[in-house]
Each structure stands twice: as C-alpha cells, then as structure tokens.
Amino acid sequence: MSPKVSFAKTTLPFPIFAADFDPFNRGYLVVGGGGGEGRSGVPNQIAVLDVQDRSTISTVAEIDLSRDEDSVQSLASLATQDGLITFAGINSSQTNQNAGKNDHFRSFEIKYPPRKKQKTDEEKGHVNSLGRNSLFKPTPSAKSETYQRLLRLSPAQKRAGGSRRIGAIATGLAKKSELVVFNATTSTPGSEDIITRIEPDGGAEVADLDVATAGTDEFSVAYCTDYNIYEQTYQYDFSKKQVQKMPNGPRRIHQMPFPDATENPASRPKFRALRFLDSQNVVALLNKPGRTGSELRIYHLYPTGPAIMTLQMSLPSHIKQAVSLDVCALDTDKKGNRQSVVAVAGQDISIEIYTINYTRNTDTFSRFRSYQSSKNVHPQQMTKLCLSPFHSPARAQGPDSQPSTDEKKPKAPMHPGPQYIRLASVSYGNTVVVDTLPLSPLDPKDKDSRYVLSHPDDERFQRIAYTYFAFLIPLLMAYLVHFFMYPEVSVATRLINVLPEPVRHRFGTPVPLPVAQSFGSAVHSTASSIVASDVPTAVPGQQRLADLLSVPGAEQNALVVRHDPANTGVAVDVHPDKQALLAEHAEAKHWHELSDEHKAEWKRRLKAAGYWVESEGERVLKGVMFSTYAGLVGQAAGEILREL
C-alpha cells in the first residue's frame, strides 16, 4: 500500500451488496444489504456511513427494512442540499411476486446529521422511505427470480442550479433480460418517466452498464453482455419528456472475436464490467475462461460504426477472475488533459488501483500505471467496489486579484486545502473498507492546476528506475559469469569486458581474458584468434602459461618465452609451426637440458611477470626448449621455447 494512503474499516450487522458515495463527495457513503426474505436474525438495512475521518467509519443514519422482502441489491443517489435521495433495488415479498406485483424500485430520503462544528442535541441523521414502483415489465412466470441487479445514474455536475440526470436499471436472473432508462429528476420515478426500454439480443443478461453525459441534456448509455458491448445516445427534453434516440435502437459497438476453428468456441473471454472514461471512451473488464486471468481494455467510440480497442493490459497473475470495476475521472486543465483512476477487485480479495492519463491534443491514453495493490482486504468475497466522484475545488483568488493597502494581510493560498478521493469496498462478510487517496496539483505554481493522484514526475522516476534495473541486471549476470570463468582476473578488467562494445572502447583497449576450454564454441573462437596468425603474437603478462595450455589445438603450436626488458621482463610469443621454429633455431634446448642456474633464473622471471606460480610445479615447464635467441648470448637467462 502506498505510504500516503490511509484506510478505515468497520463491520455492520448484515452482508453488504450495494454501495454508493455522495455524488458531491461530501464524506458520506451509503451501503445496503441484508439477509433477504425470511432469514431470522439477519436484518435488511440501508446505512449511511460518515467517512470524512480517514481513520474511522461511523454510522450516522440507518433504516431497518422489512424482513418479509428481499435485501438491497443496488444503490444510487441524487444530492440534495442537506442530504440525498437514494434509489434502491429491493424485490417485494415472494407472495406479492407470485401475485404479479413486484415494486422493485424504491426511493429513500436521507438527511445528514450536522457536522461536529455545528453540533446539536440531535446528532443522528434520518432515512425515510419515499415510495416504490415497478419499472420492469410484469413477469408472467409466478416463480420468477428476476431482481433489479444493476442501477446507475449519469454523473452529477456540481453547479449552482444543479444538474439534470438520467438513470438506467437492468434485471438479473430474468428469463428475458430487460434494461430501462429513466428520468432521474424526480424522487420516485414512475412509468411516465421511462425514456426507453431495451431488450438485449437473445435475452442475454446485462453484465454491467454505465451512463455518461455527452452534452447539454444529451446522454450516452453503454452496456455489455458476456460477449458484446452496446451503446445508445439520448437527447432528452426534461420539460416535455420527449427523447430523440441516436440510433433508434442500441448499436453493437464491439463483439468478442470468435476463437480459431481449432479452439473451443466457449474459450472466448467474457465481459464482467464497464465504465465510461469520458463520453467517447469506455474501459471494460474481461475475465478469461477457465479462471486463467483478467484484462482491462479501452475502447474508443465513434458516432457510427464499431468501436476500436486502443489499449489492453493483463491484470496481475494472482487475479484469476475479477469481480468489480469502478472509475473516477479527475478534473481537466485548459487543454482538456486529465487523469483517471481505475480500481479493480479480484476474486482473491485483492484490489488493484491504476492511473491513466488522457491527452486531448492527440486524443490518446497513456498506459495503465499501477498506483497501489492491496491483498486480503476483506475476510470474505467482495461484492462491490466504488470510487467517490471528484469535483474540481473552487480556487482561492490569487495575490494579483486581491489589491490591498494592508501589507500585513496574509496572501490567499495558491491552492485549496488537501484534496482526496475515496475507494470503498464491501463484502459478504459484513465489512466495509474505505481507502483515502490523496491528490496533488499537477503544477503547484499554478493556482488553477488540475489534480492528479499519480504525478508524472513519479511516473518518470519509475520509468528511469525500470530502465536502470533492466540494464543493471544483465550487467550483473554477465559479471557473475565472468567471475566464475576467470577468477584470477582483476575486478577492473572484468567490469570493462562485460560492458557493451561501444562503451568498452571508452575505457581503452580491453584486456583479453583467459580462455576456458569447458565453455564451448564461443571460447574456441577466442582461442583460434590467438593462434591464427603466422607472425608471433605477444601474449599479455596477466595470463599464465597454464591458461594458454588449455587452448584447443595448441599441440600444433609453440609458445616462445623471451626476455623483454621494455615491459615485464618476459614476453610470450605464439608460433603456429613448431617444426619450422626448431629448424630455424638448431641450438634450442629442452627444459631438462638447462642448467640449474638457468632454471632458477627463468622461474624467478616467470613468477615476477605472473606467468607461473610455485604451486603449478615444473610440470608446466617440461618440454620447453632454450636458444641463444635475440641477442641473449651470455646473459643470466636465455629464451624459453615452450612446446605444446
């Protein structure tokens, strides 16, 4: 977990299936759930939680619902001046359903308690039922298990005069799936507020849906089934309750490709959830078949024709299946750029938080960047994940717009107070966890700067660090290989030789390393380069004679060790033709033909130059021949010809 992120946790007396933040982000979370119909001891409730404090969660209002009816399955809220109008999906009793009456759409009025600064004797808020209705078509089957599984509202716009919103609901477990779009400007929408009804092709169940604001009184509704994504745009006149649909029916903007003919047709991934990033881009959550993983994909929508997938990312391998998705779009700058926060809940009770940046000039998104990964968030499976909305705060006036004759008067702050978004997750195990994520201005020097969760400077550092380690790890592995191959070589020489060729020459001519026979053809190539020349080649003093003996094919060559006062006192030449050398130097002598004085002198010189050590013994020198070569007649030591 990011060190700046704080979280709070609480346990309620009922399993939680639905959650929704205050649309104006005033620090309240509404949750609902329960034990359902006829389950003794487990209540059906809607609770209002105060999550303003980053370390604690407190219940400020609640309502007990009938235990003769189903539990709360979905929630969404409209903001009022001092509270909320909350819509909920609650099925009527089974008796009423059998009679063909299911008032599944409920509405509640929530009154917030006064904050601590306005503390009064009445500290608790209130939740009151406002009404109930049925928006789905009546079900002919007496034993129908249809319920209102999905409920979404268009985003709230924080304006002085408020904003007009629409909503959409969809069935679950229905024999014939249905989606209803409705006018959400009334406290209890009825049949007269229905904008349109949609029956998905083939009766496929709607996996998820979302609503976006595309313009003034213009909205876009997108929904997905297992293998398809659909979209329809509505221009709605709220006063006349008239709608213009574009197109007349929902258009399929994407179909999951069928697998190859040799594969199982059921091996296609399935859509699990989707959310609008803006009115022209949606992010979809997919689950691969056989619990083999999950993906996030971004699709760009066009006015006509199919959508195009513009980005794809696999979720971490520990997420075999994902269960929930939500998005929070942060504020934009003058150029239209913005950052969005994407949260995903996995079936392994983990949560992944990502950020993604949108550039208006190119109409493109950056790659997903991981911001936080949390595991074992709840004791049992999560049922819902939701992010609070973010509204750009009112900026304080800058110093230039505040003329004052009082020089001691404090200047207005460049930015408002700390800004946060919150992430709530709920579970079957009655638990609620709220993470508070701190935002920061993109440009602290600009008082009108947009806010980000992940700063580009941090992202740049992450990329640099990744590149650095991507280079360092192979370099370290190469160093270790050289260390075990050539333990006698100095550290400086080893480091220079593992560098890339262009970089290596910046440090001067690299020092050839000893050749080890056991390393195959690559080493054999190095050995061949040593002995290929017909001209005697000097071998650097850092190599021992024992190393040169291991060169493949060395039995056809000869080593000449001669006196070299200009360097280390000893030099080694490689001769490709031993017989020609013997014919040229008839006075050559073998090692056993040398006097003890000459042997001792050459041992001293070879040790001083690093070609030979006492522990190797004379076995390395046996078979060597001497000659009065290169003007060394009469000196204490002569030349050595080492026969290989």
Specify the pLDDT at position 639. Answer: 46
Amino acid identity, position 328: C
Q: pLDDT tens digits, residue range 367-383?
A: 999 999 999 999 999 99
Q: Domain 1-134 belongs to what topology?
A: Methylamine Dehydrogenase; Chain H (2.130.10)
Q: How far is CA 558 from each of CA 543, 551, 571, 641, rounded to the nearest angstrom?
A: 16, 12, 14, 7
Write down the pLDDT at residue 397.
65
**Contact assessment for residue 541 and residue 561, using Cβ atoms and an 8 Å cutoff:** no
> Can you tell me the distance from the alpha carbon of 57 to that of 50, in angstroms, rounded to the nearest whole number?
6
Q: Give the helix/strand (H/E) hosting 76.
A: strand 74-79
**Predicted pLDDT of residue 474:** 79
The pLDDT of residue 123 is 76
Q: Which residues contact 189 (CB under 8 A, 6 or more apart)?
A: 87, 105, 107, 133, 135, 167, 182, 183
Q: H or E segment at 272? A: strand 270-278
Phi/psi of residue 548, nearest 5 degrees: -70, -20
Which stretches of the chain drop beneath a pLDDT of 70? 1-3, 39, 116-122, 141-142, 160-161, 260-263, 396-415, 458-469, 479, 482-591, 593, 615-616, 619-644
Cβ–Cβ under 8 Å, residues 627 and 639:
yes
Alpha carbon distance 560, 633 (integer Å):
16
For residue 636, the model assigns a pLDDT of: 46
In angstroms, the CA 630 to CA 603 distance is 20
Q: Which two tokens stand for residue 593?
A: 């033909």
Nearest-Å Rg of the Cα atoms of the chain is 39
SS3 379: coil
Task: Count the helix, strand and coil residues of the chain and give each as a percent rounded to the nearest 5.
Answer: 20, 40, 45
Can the peptide bond before residue 289 be classed as cis, meaning omega within 30 degrees of 0? no
pLDDT of residue 183: 98
CA–CA separation, 16 vs 9, rounded Å?
14
- pLDDT at residue number 478: 74
Query: What is the model's pLDDT at position 449?
Result: 93
Our measurement of the distance from residue 171's CA atom to the centroid of its chain's CA atoms, rounded to an integer in Å, reads 32
Report yes or no: 159 and 177 within 8 Å, Cβ to Cβ: no
Annotate 614-640 with b (16+ C-beta within 10 A) or e (fewer): eeeeeebbeebbbbebeeeeeeebbbb
Strands 294-300 and 308-314: antiparallel
For the record, the structure tokens of 259 come out as 């697998």
The neighbour count for residue 59, using CB atoms within 10 Å, is 16
Q: How far apart are CA 91 and CA 102, in angstroms?
A: 6
pTM over the 0.85 mark: no
Q: 120-149 burial, b for 16+ CB within 10 Å, e for fewer?
A: eeeeebbbeeeeeebbbeebeeeebebbbb
20 and 33 Cβ atoms separated by less than 8 Å? no
Give the pLDDT confidence score for residue 158 in this predicted structure: 82
Where exactly are the structural domains of the chain?
A: 1-134, 455-513, 532-643
Q: Give the span between the Cα atoms of 461 and 9, in whole angstroms.
A: 32
